[in-house]
Amino acid sequence: MNVMAKPAGTELVLTRELKAPRERVFAAWIDARQASLWWVPRDFTPLSCEMDVQPGGIWRRRMRSPSGDVILKHGVYREVSAPKRLVFTYITENATGIVDPETLVSIDLTDLGGGRTRLTLWHTAFETEVSRNDHRGGWAGCLERFANYIDKVRPTEGVMTMNIQPYLSFEGKAQEAIDFYKGAIGAEVKVVMHFKDAPPEAQAQMSPGVGDKVMHACIKIGESDVFVSDGRCGGKASFSGVTLTLNTTSDGEADKLFAALGKGGQVTMPMAETFFATRFGMLADKFGVNWMVLNPKN
């Protein structure tokens, strides 16, 4: 639950109780890899996130608004007191070229016991109430995404965990592939970064004409994340020797997904019952990605 205090003036205060230990919550605020998954307002798309988490260190993140505008946020860390407090300056550079005045953000984490934490966010030094109110909705959406993210993170105290994620290079057809998987198997787009979203110094090293191609994307299929890119934009992708597997819970679902993935592709083993599955089939979709779809027997 979000609680907003002191609604008047130029100070914004939000609190959120989280089902996670304080150390885990703090780690998600100082790890750029984790922050890139949640630190954007609702309906915005993260593009990049950089963090040098130490007093005097710089943080910088870029995002795309629902209207397509690219917005830059950045600041400097003033205080880093693990695992209880984080203070940093906050500046917004809008797509119109307007730069908002510097403000200050403080994150305080209180250990509530039982693996729960209270997060209190103070955003101060706004020059106007309008500016404060503009940030209220943004932070509320961020904290909602943060709560959803932190609730799914598995504790790693004393345990090494690894997560293998496939990375598919479509060599120029990544956006077409993403759109296809959204319609065919309900893929959810989590992140899309284009080559034109890279910093200017990185773009200077790129081949001409690749600006609108996908540099990196993450789509969620079921409970799994799949990374997608246009790679070197070479025009011909190869997925030889690699197969993605879709496990379903019913024969009907298996048949439906198999048919959807097979549109424009090639079936290499028609759907049928086997000794290990009530439904099993193999195909290469229209991009050449190999799939196995099955409803395994109990």
pLDDT of 154: 58
% of the chain with per-residue pLDDT over 90: 70
Please tell me whether residues 178 and 136 are part of one structural domain.
Answer: no
Q: Is the pLDDT of residue 273 over 80?
A: yes
Q: Is the pLDDT of residue 143 over 70?
A: yes
Please tell me whether residues 62 and 88 are part of one structural domain.
Answer: yes
Domain-embedded: residue 158: no
Domain-embedded: residue 48: yes
Residue 3: pLDDT band (50, 70, 90) is: very low
Domain-embedded: residue 52: yes
CATH code where residue 291 lies: 3.30.720.110
Please tell me whether residues 231 and 242 are part of one structural domain.
Answer: no
CATH code where residue 181 lies: 3.10.180.10
Please tell me whether residues 212 and 268 are part of one structural domain.
Answer: no
pLDDT of 37: 87
Mean of the per-residue pLDDT values of the chain: 90
pLDDT of 2: 44
Q: Which of 236, 257, 282 is the last residue of a domain?
A: 236
By CB neighbour count within 10 A (0-12 exposed, 13-18 middle, 19+ buried), where does 21 fall? Answer: buried
Please tell me whether residues 143 and 83 are part of one structural domain.
Answer: yes
Q: Where are the alpha helices (DSSP H) in 123-198?
A: 129-152, 174-185
Q: Is the pLDDT of residue 155 over 80?
A: no
Domain-embedded: residue 249: yes
Q: Which of 217, 236, 255 is the last residue of a domain?
A: 236
| pLDDT tens-place string over residues 71-105 | 999 999 999 999 999 999 999 999 899 999 999 99
What's the rounded Cα separation, in Å, for the pair 140 and 142? 5
pLDDT, greater one: 298 or 139: 139
Interstrand relation of 188-194 and 70-81 (parallel, antiparallel or unpaired): unpaired
3 state SS of 1: coil
Question: How many residues comprise the chain?
Answer: 298
Q: Which of 191, 214, 236 is the last residue of a domain?
A: 236
Number of alpha helices (DSSP H) and beta strands (DSSP E) in the chain = 6, 16
What's the rounded Cα separation, in Å, for the pair 86 and 67? 31
Please tell me whether residues 21 and 90 are part of one structural domain.
Answer: yes
Please tell me whether residues 106 and 246 are part of one structural domain.
Answer: no
pLDDT of 172: 95
Please tell me whether residues 12 and 140 are part of one structural domain.
Answer: yes
> Domain span at residue 250?
238-298
Please tell me whether residues 147 and 250 are part of one structural domain.
Answer: no
Q: Domains in the chain: how many in total?
A: 3
Domain-embedded: residue 45: yes
What's the rounded Cα separation, in Å, for the pair 109 and 245? 41
Domain-embedded: residue 90: yes
What's the rounded Cα separation, in Å, for the pair 255 and 99? 53
Domain-embedded: residue 56: yes
Please tell me whether residues 131 and 174 are part of one structural domain.
Answer: no
Residue 157: pLDDT band (50, 70, 90) is: very low
pLDDT of 159: 42
| pLDDT tens-place string over residues 176-205 | 999 999 999 999 998 899 998 888 877 788
Please tell me whether residues 176 and 106 are part of one structural domain.
Answer: no
What's the rounded Cα separation, in Å, for the pair 258 and 293? 6
Please tell me whether residues 15 and 84 are part of one structural domain.
Answer: yes
| pLDDT tens-place string over residues 232-253 | 898 889 999 999 999 999 999 9
What pTM did the predictor assign? 0.56
Domain-embedded: residue 157: no
Q: What is the CA radius of gyration of the chain?
A: 22
pLDDT, greater one: 89 or 157: 89
CATH code where residue 98 lies: 3.30.530.20
% of the chain with per-residue pLDDT over 70: 94
pLDDT of 205: 82
